[in-house]
Structures are given as structure tokens and as C-alpha cells.
């Protein structure tokens, strides 16, 4: 799998890109995603994630994680010429993750994993707009969280 990690300038993230890549691979493997898949992961600032939330989702407020799937809604998706399944991008506000970690009294790493799982599931088509969808997504998040190694 190809997991591209970008830590935006100005983000004081105290995590290694390699650790984030390994966690993302574990999440994708738990969902039986092809080893030829590619995912981008960005750790950004509260200002930037608010801009993205406003510009792409119409919500002028900060958030913790955003997902931008690459695969169209159509089931007629054609594999690109490079042979990679381009899944999309997960963007996490590192500051928000740190604040939520303090609030929930666990490590920032654990909060990043929770947000990464949530974002990847969105990229893969999960949603939580309806109560049944939310139950399904939350249950899958909990299952995957229990499988991820190296939280602390």
C-alpha cells in the first residue's frame, strides 16, 4: 500500500510519519482493501481544516477530520493506468486531535487513530447521516480500533 503522509508547516505534531503509515495500512487491511491502494493523510492546522470544511462542505466551522474520497459513487469505477486504487485523502486537525485526547483522557496517538479510522471509513463509503448508518459505522470503528497495534 502507498500511504502518503503530509504534516503541514506550522503543525507541531509529535508523531512519526512512518507510524501514521503503519496505522493507516492496518485500517485498510482490516477493511480488506487491495495492497495496490493509495491513500493520502494530511495533518493540518485548525485554520486550514476550517477553510476546507467551509469551501467543500459549506460548514464554516472547525472540525477534527475531513475525508475526500477519490472513487466516484458509480460502481463502474475503472482502475487507473498506474494500477493503483486511489482511495482519496483524510485530513486531520492535529490541534483538535490533541484537545480531544485531553478531553477523553487518552493519548494523542489514540485520538489520531480514532480520527484516522473514521476518516478512512468515510473514504470507503461509510456514513453516519442516518441512525442505522451511524450504528454500523461506530461498530466498525470500535472493531478496527481493537485491532490496531501500537496505540501508545
Tens of pLDDT, residues 77-122: 555 666 778 899 999 999 999 999 999 999 999 999 999 999 999 9
Tens of pLDDT, residue by residue over 69-79, are 986 554 445 55
The larger pLDDT score, comparing residue 21 to residue 71, is at 21
pLDDT at 43 over 70: yes
Answer yes or no: are the C-beta atoms of 80 and 123 closer than 8 Å. Answer: no
Give the pLDDT of residue 86. Answer: 86
Which pLDDT score, from 0 to 100, does residue 11 have? 85
Q: What pTM was estimated for this model as a whole?
A: 0.89
DSSP codes of every residue in 46-78: HHHHHHHHHHHHS--S--SEEEEE-S-SSS-PP
Does residue 127 contact residue 133 with C-beta atoms inside 8 Å? yes
Q: What residue ranges do the domains of the chain occupy?
A: 2-73+82-147
Q: Does domain 2-73+82-147 have CATH number 1.10.3720.10?
A: no
72-74-79 Cα angle (round to 5):
65
Q: Are strands 65-69 and 2-7 parallel, antiparallel or unpaired?
A: unpaired
Which is higher by pLDDT, 40 or 71?
40
Query: Under a CB-based contact definition with an 8 Å cutoff, are residues 90 and 54 in contact?
Result: no
Amino acid at each position: 500500500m502507498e500511504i502518503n503522509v503530509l504534516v503541514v508547516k506550522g503543525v507541531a505534531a509529535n508523531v512519526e510519519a512512518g507510524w501514521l503509515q503503519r496505522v493507516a495500512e492496518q485500517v485498510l487491511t482490516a477493511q480488506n482493501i487491495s495492497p495496490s491502494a493509495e491513500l493520502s493523510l494530511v495533518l493540518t492546522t485548525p485554520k486550514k481544516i476550517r477553510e476546507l470544511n467551509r469551501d467543500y462542505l459549506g460548514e464554516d466551522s472547525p472540525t477534527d477530520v475531513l475525508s475526500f474520497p477519490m472513487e466516484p459513487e458509480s460502481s463502474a469505477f475503472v482502475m487507473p493506468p498506474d494500477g493503483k486504487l486511489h482511495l482519496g485523502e483524510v485530513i486531520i486537525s492535529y490541534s483538535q486531535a490533541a484537545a480531544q485526547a485531553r478531553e477523553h483522557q487518552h493519548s494523542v496517538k489514540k485520538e489520531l487513530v480514532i480520527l484516522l479510522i473514521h476518516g478512512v471509513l468515510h473514504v470507503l463509503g461509510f456514513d453516519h447521516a442516518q441512525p442505522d448508518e451511524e450504528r454500523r459505522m461506530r461498530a466498525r470503528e470500535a472493531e478496527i480500533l481493537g485491532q490496531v497495534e501500537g496505540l501508545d
